[in-house]
Chain A
Amino acid sequence: MANPLLAFWRRLVGDDGRPPRSPRLVGDDGRPARAPLRRMPHASATQASETIFLILRRMRTPLIVLIVIFAVSVLGLKLIPGQDAQGHPSRLGFFDAFYFMSYTASTIGFGEIPVPFTYAQRMWVTVAIYLTVIGWAYAIGSLLALLQDRAFRQAVALQRFRRRVSRLREPFLLIAGYGRTGELLGHAFDALGRRVVVIDRSDDRIDDLELDSYRVDVPGLVGDVRDPGHLGIAGLGHPSCEAVLALTDDDEANLAVTMTAALLRPDLPVVARTTSRAIARQMRAFGAPSVVNPFDAFGDHLRLALHAPASYQLMVWLQSGPGAELPARGQPPEAGRWVVCGTGRFVREMARDLSADGLDVVVVKPAAVAGTPDGDDPSSPRDGSDPAQVDLRQAVGFVAGTDSDTTNLSLVAAAGQTNPDLFVAARQNRPASTPLFAMMAIDALLVPPEVVAREVYAQLSTPLLRRFLREMPARGDQWAAAVIDRLTTLCGHHLQDLWKVRLSGREAPAVQAWLASGRARLGDLMREPVDRDEPLPAVPLLVLRGEDCSLAPDGDFLLAVDDEILLAGRPTARRSLEATLLFETVTEYVFSGRRVPSSWIWRRLSRYEARPATDPTSPAPHDQ
C-alpha cells in the first residue's frame, strides 16, 4: 500500500459486501488457469525477518537498563561537588563524567582524572561501579544468549540462503529431498556444470552439503518441502529455475511438491519419484510431470535385460554418465518359471511386469524358501502349495524383493545353494549394504536411488539422450550390439563425453553452404581436422530434424540445416568437431583435402578464392 489514498479508497469501496475473490484454479474451459504465477508465497520469508525483529526487540530491556544506569551515574558525577588541586570547589564537566564512567564501567580504570576525587564523589562512584557492572553483564549476557538462540540462528541461516538463491543468475535445478538419489543427481549435474539448490527436512543432510565436494556452491535449506513458502524461498518463483525434482522418500511429500510446482509455476518441468501407482495417477492430474517409479523402471529394465541384453547394456552405459565403464552383458535365462519372493509394492510390480511378458511367475513369502532363517520352521505360513525346494530347482529366475537387506542376502544365498544356474535379481534397500551385495552373484540388482537418479539424469541432462533411450529398445538387440561395437572401437570401454551439436548458422557457420547443397554426408563431417583420413573418435547417436529422429545414422546419412546431433566420444573429438564447424579453413581441408591459407595476405598470394566446399572428392575414410 504505497499510496495511502488508494488504500483508503480500497477500504471504502472494496468491502461492499462482495465475497473476497478466491484464486480460481480451473478456468472456464476446464483447464488450469495461469493466474497464480506471480503469487509466490512469501509467508515464511517475512517470517524470517520477523524473527530477527522479534529478537532485536528482546534487546530492548538490556539496552534501556544500560542507558539509564549510565545517565544516572554521569549525572551524579556531574552534580556532586569536588575540589581542584588548590582546594577550590569545582565540578566535573559532562564530558569528564562520561569519560570517567566509560572507562570505569568497562573495567579499564585509568584512575581519578582530571583531579583526585573528594569523598563524596568516591561514594557515588562506588555505587556507580556496581550499577554499571550489573548493567554491562546483563546486556552482554543477553546478547550472547541471543546469538546462541536456535531460532535466531535459524533465521540468520534462512536469510543467508534466501540471499544466495536470489543472487543465482544461471539456470538451476531445485532438488526437493536430498537423500541418496538427490546426492547422486547433485553430483552428476554439478559435473555437467549445472547449478543445484537443495531443500531437505533433515539438518544432517544439509550439513553434509558443506562437506561434500561440489565444484560450485550449493545452497541448502532445512525445510519442509510440503510448505509452498519453503519451496518459494528455495527458488520456485525464481526466473532462473529450470526444473523441479521431487525426490524425497515420502510419496505424499513428492505429490505435494508436484502440486505446488504445477500450480505456481506451470511452465516448469517437474520430475517426481514415487513407488505407488495411485500417487503417480494423482501426480499426473497436475500438469504433465514425468513420474519415475523405481520399481516399475526396474521391472522394465529387467524385461529388457531378458529380451535384449545388448540393448540393456547400452542403456545402462549411456545412463551412467561420463566416465562410466562398459557394463558386462548379461546372460538371459531360457523361458521357465520365475520365483518372486517378498511382499509389498515391489513384488506386485515385478510379478505384473514379468507376467505381462508371458513368463510363469510364482509369488512366495520369504519363509517358503529353504535355507533362510524361518524357512525350516514348519509352523510358518507357506504361500502356495508347492514346497520351496521344488520351486527353486525347476525355476530359471529368482527375485529377492523383501524390504530387508539381510533377508534378501540370505534369500540370494539360499537360492544359489539350491540352484546355481538361477538368474538372480535382488533389491538393495540401504546404501550401507552395497559391499555385501557386490560380493554375491547377482545378475540384476535394484538399488532404487540409483535407478531414479539414472532415469532423471537421462531426462534432464540432454533431451536428445532421453529421446535416444526411448526409441532404442525398438531397434532390437543386434542393432544395439552393433552400436556398442562402434562405440568401443572408436572411443574405448569408458564412456567419455556425451554432447549435442546444432547445425545452425550460429553454432556451425562454416558448413552452412555445404549443408544447403543437399549432398552433406555425415561421414564427411566426422573426420579428424589434423589428418582427414582418420575418423573422428566419436559416434553420432542420434540426428534430430524437427520431430523426426534417426538413431545411430551411418556415414551416408544426409544432413540438413538446423539438424541436432547427439554424439558420444572423446573430448578431443568434441574440440575437433567444433573447429570443423566454426573455421572455414578447417572445413575446407576436412571436406576436400585442400589446405587453405587462413590469413588474408597469404590468400591473396596463393590466389585462393572462397568456394563453397560442396564436393568432397576423395573417398571417405571407412564409414562409421
Chain B
Amino acid sequence: MNLEKVVFGFFVLLAATLNFGFFIGDIDDPAVHSVYELFGAVVVSLIATVLKFGDRTQLGAVHLATSLVADLQLLAAALVWGYAQYVSSQGVTPESMASVVSLSGGALLANLVSVVLLVVETVSFQRR
C-alpha cells in the first residue's frame, strides 16, 4: 500500500463527494444547499489540484485538467453567491441560487471524470 496513493485517492474522492452533497437538492432552494459544503468543496478541490502537479504521464495531465475545470466552476459558483449576497440589491434570489448550483453541477461532472480516471488508473495498474 502506498500512502501517497491513499492521500491522492482520498482527496479526489472527497472533492467529488462534497461537490455532490452540495449539488443535490432543489436547484433554487437556498435552504438545501449549505454554504459550508461549498466552502469545503472549494478547499478540497484546490488541494486535489495541487496534489496533481508534476505528474508527467498522459493520465496525469488529464487528471490535472479535470481538477482545474472543477476549481474554475466552484470558484465561479462561490463568486456568484458572494455577489448575490453582498453586492446585488435583491439578495440571494432563487435565480442566483440556481446559477450557483448549476455551476457546481458542472464541477461535479469534472470531478466524476476525475474519479473515473482514478479507477481506470487503478485497474490498469493491476495488469502490470
Would you call B82 and A95 a contact (CB within 8 A)?
yes
Cβ of B50 within 8 Å of any chain A Cβ, yes or no, is: yes
Where chain A touches its partner, the secondary structure class is: helix
Please indicate the chain B residues that have their CB under 8 angstroms from the CB of A74 in the complex: 39
Most buried by B among A53, A56, A58, A95: A95
A-B contact count (CB 8 A): 43
Minimum C-beta distance from B36 to chain A (A): 8
- Is there contact, CB below 8 Å, between A71 and B43? yes
Spot the interface stretch: A60-68, A471-479, A614-622: A60-68
Q: Are B43 and A67 in contact (CB under 8 A)?
A: yes
- Assembled-state Cα–Cα distance A287/B53 (Å): 46
Contact of A93 (CB < 8 Å), options: B53, B56, B86? B86
* Minimum distance in angstroms from B15 CB to a CB of chain A: 12
Residues of B58-102 contacting chain A, CB below 8 A: 78, 82, 85-86
- Which residues of the other chain, A, contact B46 by a CB distance below 8 angstroms? 67
Q: Of the candidates A54, A67, A78, A95, which one forms a contact with B54 in the assembled complex, judged by CB atoms under 8 Å apart?
A: A54
Contact of A57 among B54, B78, B86 (CB under 8 A): B54
- For the complex, what is the distance from the CA of A57 to the CA of B60, rounded to whole Å? 12
Question: Is B54's CB under 8 angstroms from A94's CB?
Answer: no
* Chain A residues positioned under 8 Å from B39 (CB to CB): 71, 74-75, 78, 94
With both chains docked as a complex, state the minimum distance between the C-beta of B32 and any C-beta of chain A, in angstroms. 18
Whether a CB of chain B sits under 8 angstroms from the CB of A359 is: no
> A63 contacts which chain B residues (CB < 8 A)?
50, 53
Report if B113 contacts A (CB, 8 A). Answer: no
Chain B residues within an 8 Å CB radius of A67: 43, 46-47, 50
Residues of A contacting B51 with CB < 8 Å? 60, 64
Contact check, B86 vs A68: say whether CB atoms are below 8 A apart.
no
A341 CA / B78 CA spacing, docked (Å):
87
Bound-state Cα–Cα, A59 to B78, Å: 26
With contacts A67-B43, A67-B46 taken as known, whether A56 is within 8 angstroms of B53 at the C-beta atoms is: yes
Interface residues on B, range: 10 to 19
A217 sits at the interface (CB 8 A): no
Instruction: Convert A77-116 into 0s and 1s, putting 1 for each residue whose CB lies closer than 8 angstroms to a CB of B.
Output: 0100000000000000111000000000000000000000
Is A374 located at the chain interface by the 8 A CB criterion? no
Contacts of A64 in B (CB 8 A): 47, 50-51
Asked if B47 contacts A53 (CB within 8 A), the reply is no
Give chain A residues whose Cβ lies under 8 Å from the Cβ of B56.
50, 53
Chain A residue numbers with a CB within 8 Å of B53 are 56-57, 59-60, 63
Q: Say whether A94 contacts B82, CB under 8 Å.
A: yes
Tell me the A506-541 residues at the B interface (CB within 8 Å). Answer: none
Smallest beta-carbon distance A71→chain B, Å: 4
B116 interface contact, C-beta 8 A: no
* Assembly CA distance A388 to B34 (angstroms): 104
A50 vs B55: C-alpha distance in the bound complex, in angstroms? 9
**Do A60 and B86 contact each other (CB < 8 Å), given the known contacts A68-B47, A75-B39?**
no
* A57 contacts across to B, CB distance below 8 A: 53-54
State which of B50, B54, B82, B85 has its C-beta within 8 Å of the C-beta of A53. B54
The residues in A between 456 and 475 inclusive whose CB is less than 8 angstroms from any CB of B are none
Given A53-B56, A71-B43, A94-B39, does the pair A60, B85 have CB atoms closer than 8 Å? no
**Chain A 24-67 per-residue mask, 1 if CB under 8 angstroms from chain B, else 0:** 00000000000000000000000000100110111110011001
Instruction: Say how far B65's CB is from chain A's closest CB, in angstroms.
Output: 15
B35 contacts the other chain (Cβ, under 8 Å)?
A: yes
Chain B nearest CB from A360 CB (Å) reads 70
Given A53-B54, A63-B50, answer yes or no on A95-B86 (Cβ-Cβ < 8 Å).
Answer: yes
Sampled A-B contacts (14; CB under 8 Å): A53-B55, A53-B56, A59-B53, A60-B51, A60-B53, A63-B50, A64-B51, A67-B46, A67-B47, A74-B39, A75-B39, A78-B39, A93-B85, A95-B86
Give B contacts to A, CB under 8 Å.
35-36, 39, 43, 46-47, 50-51, 53-56, 78, 82, 85-86
Q: Which residues of A contact B (CB under 8 A)?
A: 50, 53-54, 56-60, 63-64, 67-68, 71, 74-75, 78, 93-95
* 6 additional contacts (CB under 8 A) given A60-B54, A78-B39: A53-B55, A56-B53, A64-B50, A67-B47, A93-B82, A94-B39
